[in-house]
Amino acid sequence: MPVDDPAIAGAIRRHEERLARDPSSLAFAQLADLYRKAGRTQDAVSLCREGLTRYPHYTTARLILAKAHLAADQLGPALDELEIILQSSPNDVQCHRLAAEVHRRSGRLDAAVRHLETAVDLDPGDRESRALLALLRAEGAGEGSGIARLLRDDVFVTVAFGGLCLEQGLADEAALVFTRILRQDPDDPEARARLELALRARSRRRG
């Protein structure tokens, strides 16, 4: 597929040429990451897997592979790679953040919370993980707000009400609704998808 960003396209060409000159080079990981950023996730996955047969302990390549799987919505394989890294590097903050995302997108909120707790313990200045942690614990937005008071009543903990919050630009409140739903039913696909929409809207709002 064509790459819209000329800088990424140029970097891909340079790394492809470098790898062609020296197929055993560790540059495969950088090239795979460029493929991922260009949307060529399958190329990224294939290149990482090939490189890891030669360098199985190259953590950077394994992390890029996990990110590529995540970009392709291949949550199981992404988690497999992250768990391999965490077995040898249990204090890898970035891996804990990504593992939290995988579990969250799979509806496993308790597991996501555990990884976010570890990330916050390892990096107390990580405000984004701390804020996500509060949402996924369903501690939620503005306890004194009218919406927060409504959400104490399970009558309003519905996909429809969460969607209404989202339409009104209340991303934190919408995330809280969908989190509450997933705590009752982790397999609800619509609540999982809407939670991701709410978190993306929240991220855009915060810039």
User: At 35, which CATH number?
Assistant: 1.25.40.10
**Which of the four pLDDT bands, split at 50, 70 and 90, describes residue 142?**
very low
Average pLDDT over every residue of 180-205: 90
Residue 110 lies in a domain: no
Residue 42 lies in a domain: yes
- Final residue belonging to a domain, choices 16, 51, 71: 71
Domain with 3, as residue range(s), is: 1-71
Would the pLDDT of 153 be above 80? no
Residue 5 lies in a domain: yes
**Which of the four pLDDT bands, split at 50, 70 and 90, describes residue 202?**
confident
Quick one: CA dihedral 91, 97, 99, 104, positive or negative?
Answer: positive
Residue 19 lies in a domain: yes
Neighbours of 207 (CB within 10 A): 4
pLDDT in tens, 168-182: 988 888 998 899 899
3-state secondary structure 43-110: HHHHHHHHHHHHCCCCHHHHHHHHHHHHHCCCHHHHHHHHHHHHHHCCCCHHHHHHHHHHHHHCCCHH
Please tell me the total count of domains within the chain.
2
Residue 47 lies in a domain: yes
Select from 80, 86, 55, 54 the least CA-distant residue to 68. Answer: 80
Residue 96 lies in a domain: no
**Which of the four pLDDT bands, split at 50, 70 and 90, describes residue 66?**
very high
Residue 163 lies in a domain: yes
- Final residue belonging to a domain, choices 38, 71, 104: 71
**Which of the four pLDDT bands, split at 50, 70 and 90, describes residue 1?**
very low
- Final residue belonging to a domain, choices 51, 71, 91: 71
CA distance 129 to 125: 9
Residue 90 lies in a domain: no
CA distance 140 to 184: 16
pTM to 2 decimal places = 0.83
